[in-house]
Every structure is written in structure tokens, then in C-alpha cells.
Amino acid sequence: MTRHPVPGQVKSRIAEELGDETALAVHRELTEHVVRRARAAELAGTVDLEIRLADGTAAAGRRWLGRASRVRTQCEGTLGDRLAEAVGTAVSEGAPAVIVIGSDCPDAGGAIVRKAVAELARTPLVLGPAGDGGYYLAGVRADAADSVSAALFEQIPWGTSGVLAVTLGRLSALGMTPALLPTLDDIDRPADARRWQARRLEERTRRPRTSVVIPSLNEEDAIAQAVQSARASGAHEVIVADGGSADATVVRAEGSGATVVSAPRGRAGQMNAGSDPASGDVLLFLHADTVLPRDACALIADALGDPRVVGGAFDYSAGDGTDPFDRFISAVGQLRYTAFRLPYGDQAIFVRRTVFEDLGGFPELPVMEDYEFALRLKRLGRIARVPAAIRTSTRAWRERGLLAVTARDIATIAGYRLGVDPARLARWRQAV
């Protein structure tokens, strides 16, 4: 739920002290930020996103927020009337549940949306309390929408610190207790706007910290070199997510300075498990048989200096580059990227931490998890191609043969793009 950016018609409390131009800029940036985060949840398959726009046409909204956006105009009336109409329309069109979010809470991202969805599987109502006494999110299941609409939306003292308390009191009178999400802050007042502007300035100017996550399984011969390369590249921390190695992988990873976490076997799940304890602003996913260039983290920081960039990857290089066979494999890897315009896991994909969380991490697929994740990244924003190469092992090519490995990989990509079940593709890859 947002407004078209018209000077003098948005963020009136901010405009009173800081002026219409500042209020307009804050509103635009907040809306674009919240929509981008909600779109990530949609790309992950969590929700269908609809933007409800006041003071503007649907066409104007699409020009502003993207032509692929689904935009509708809000109805006339109070905020309660407009919320009730949006919920009622979605339910009438078959939505099993509806979540409405304002455009002024920058931390209401994909992770919060997933929490709301999970709560709605257990209870018919969920609210996200705001620090100013209102709420930034309301979710209702279709089977409860009619019975609670009046309590949620009619005669509420909108714009005051009593919104949440009044709403909870009315729901209690109906014998209903909503699930409550974490309390987050809205950006409504001049002091809020100053904090938001300071936060954005810090995000744009502070060098991000990069956490390197390495999934491993029986990689005792390679893991130490991968960890050491990550530490030498300027990584804030290195986390090895081990899938149950039966060799010395864990001992050698810890001996090289990595933190090791255990996870069920499977690259997607291991990478997601490794990201959980990570504390960096950026997550970089490195294969255990791959090493990073020495200035990798500085190059990542430069790439992410553009706020439109959501993530990226490095150029591909096989072996040490001295062997003609290695150089040919490197050329094949570069051609693969050029042909499909997407990075793959063996190129050390990196992503902003907030984007990773909004997307829900890597999809839990037995194969092609890196391809699907990169595809979602590309749909969300720009993917940077860092002008430096990782160096990966050529063991698979040498053990199985260049043509066999290339044909297998191309067939897997083609099968996935054609809609073949990933589990079937995984079984086929293991058999060939």
C-alpha cells in the first residue's frame, strides 16, 4: 500500500519540518526499497505481489516501479476503507490469505513476509507491531476475513499511537488473538527520516564485510587451500558447511582458520546452513576446490557500490592456466556465462545479505540450485561480473573426460529449462 510520489501529498509530518522535496525523496526511496524486498519474496515463490497505489494511475505506477509490476489503484475513503477493499478484493479473487504492508517500514522484507505466511498457516490473523504504536503489516486468512474486517479497519484512530492497542482490543472482544511479528520502526516523522537518511548514507559509504561460505564433503585435499584463499582475500569470516565428511576435511578446515558447521548432505542445504551464523553484509559461496583472487573482497565492495547491484560472480578459470587443457576448459566456462548470461556456483557467487534473506536462500533443489538462485537474482536487480578470475580444479574434467562433462552439464541445464523434475535430473547425473 503506497502513494504515487506527488510533491506535497506524501509524508506530511516529515514535510512540515524538512520540506516537501525531502519528504518526497524519502517516500520514493522507501517505497522502491520495500517493493524490491517484497518482490524478492515473490520470486522465491512465497507470495504473489500486488502494489496498491493512491493518487496515481496503475500505468503511472508501472512506469515508476517497473513494467512487470502488478499495480492497482486504491479506492477512495479512509485508510481503513482502502485496506478493507484491498483485502476483500484479493479474497474474492481466490487468495487463501492476504498480507498488507505499508511502504514506510524498510525492514519489512522477505524474511518478515515468510514469518507472516508461516503464522497464517497456524492462526487466522497476524500483525506486525510498529515502534510508534501502529502496525506495519496485517495478515488475514480468507476464512476469517469477513468476520474480522470491521474490527481491523473500521473507526481506527489512524496516524496515532493507539492504532495497535485499539485493534487488539477489538479483536479480543471477538475472542481472537493475532500472532505478533517482531516490532519494527516506521519512517513517519522528521527524526525517523534523519535516521533513515543516515542509515542509507552509511550503507553506501561503508565497506561491506564479506562472509565466505564453503560447502564441503570429503574435500581433505582441497579445503585448506580454499579456506586460506578466502582469508587472504580479506574475508570477514570463513564458514565451512560440512555435509558429513568421512575424511579429514573438518580437521583441516578448522586448522586453516574456518568455523565449521554440520548440515545434512546437499549443496543447497549446506550453503543455507552456512549462511545462518554468518555476520557479514555480503555472503560469498565458494566451492571447496576453488580459490579466490587475493583482492576478491575489495572487488566485491567496488561492485556493490552501485545500489542497483544485488550480487555477482567472478570470471571462470580452470587450473593454473599454464596447461592447454586448462586454458580450453577456462574458455568453455567463459563461453557458458556469455551464452546464458548467468553465473554458476563454480564462479563464486556473492550476494548482499539482505537480498539473500529476502529470496529465502538457495532453493532446496538436488541440482541446479545455483542456476535457479542466479536467475532470481537477475530478475531482482543487476548482477555484477567482477573483472578477476577464481581458479577451480579440473579434476572432474580430467577424470570423466571433457566431452562427457560438457555434454552432461549442457543436458542438465537444458532439462531444467524445459521443466524436467530436478530430482530426476539428479538421478540421471549420478548414473552417467
In the chain, where are the structural domains located? 2-202, 210-431
d(CA 167, CA 126): 12
Asked if 387 and 339 count as a contact pair (C-beta separation under 8 A), the reply is no
The span from the CA of 98 to the CA of 81, in Å, is 16
d(C-alpha 63, C-alpha 59), whole Å: 6
Q: Show the cell assigned to 76.
A: 477512495
User: What whole-number distance in Å separates Cα of residue 432 and Cα of residue 419?
Assistant: 20
- What pLDDT shows up at residue 339? 66
Report the chain (432 residues): mean pLDDT per 10 consecutive residues: 94 94 96 94 93 95 91 95 97 97 94 95 96 96 95 93 96 95 96 93 91 98 97 98 98 98 96 98 97 96 93 86 71 69 88 96 94 94 92 77 79 90 90 76
The answer to whether domain 2-202 and domain 210-431 are alike in fold is: yes
End-to-end alpha-carbon separation of the chain, Å?
51
The pLDDT score that the predictor gives to residue 140 is: 98
Q: Reply yes or no on domain 2-202 having CATH 3.90.550.10.
A: yes
What is the amino acid identity at position 79? L
* Helix boundaries (H) for 136-287: 142-153, 163-173, 190-205, 223-232, 249-255, 267-275
Q: What is the pLDDT of residue 346?
A: 87
Q: What's the confidence (pLDDT) of residue 340?
A: 67
Compute CA distances 138 → 36, 119, 351, whole Å: 19, 11, 29
DSSP conformational letter for 365: -
pLDDT of res. 121: 95
pLDDT of 157: 95
- CATH class of the domain defined by 210-431: alpha beta
pLDDT, residue 17, reads 95
Q: With 0.75 as the threshold, say if the pTM is over it.
A: yes
